[in-house]
A = this chain, B = another copy of it.
């Protein structure tokens, strides 16, 4: 998606160790109009998969997942990283390593909002190693739901996430694909 690629080219910063800083429009400050355009584009690409729910992980997946859900007219569920007191005692929980934070995080979904029969479209900000997304996949599968597609804003194709997701056999779409980051140079796959 040209608009997102151009924005990363202009404002994204490679910080080394595969870390891409997009805090000015995705991760801390969010360009709402750009996120809405990304949501519209995801809705277009996944129009045919018959999704009944969008699933993401807090925190930075929320913005693109929300705008995608809006354009598809679907609810969105975000997996929590800590269990709030409003959640039932028994939950769906998995763990996923966070590449950028170097820690293991929990992903928690209430069984109230993810059940068998759901057709789940996963949306997140980044596809890197695919570990967070595979965590969301496990939660959905444990709930008896079916994964029907996976969309991410930015794919770092040199980190192997697409290969990790391939066995799922679903449509995987990224709006900007980065094939290498060396020093401060960001190279897109266009």
Residue ranges of A at the interface with B (Cβ–Cβ < 8 Å): 15, 19, 21, 23-25, 27-33, 35-36, 54, 58-59, 62-63, 66-67, 69-70, 73-78, 80, 84-87, 100-101, 109-110, 112-113
Contact = CB atoms under 8 A, between A and B. Distances in A.
A35 B33 CA distance: 15
Contacts of A78: 28, 30, 59
A76 B113 contact: no
Q: Assembly of this chain: how many copies?
A: 2
Given A25-B75, A32-B75, 20 more contacts: A15-B86, A21-B86, A23-B86, A23-B110, A24-B112, A28-B87, A28-B110, A29-B75, A32-B54, A32-B66, A32-B69, A32-B70, A35-B70, A59-B80, A62-B63, A63-B66, A66-B67, A67-B70, A85-B100, A85-B101
Nearest to A100: B85
Nearest to A39: B32
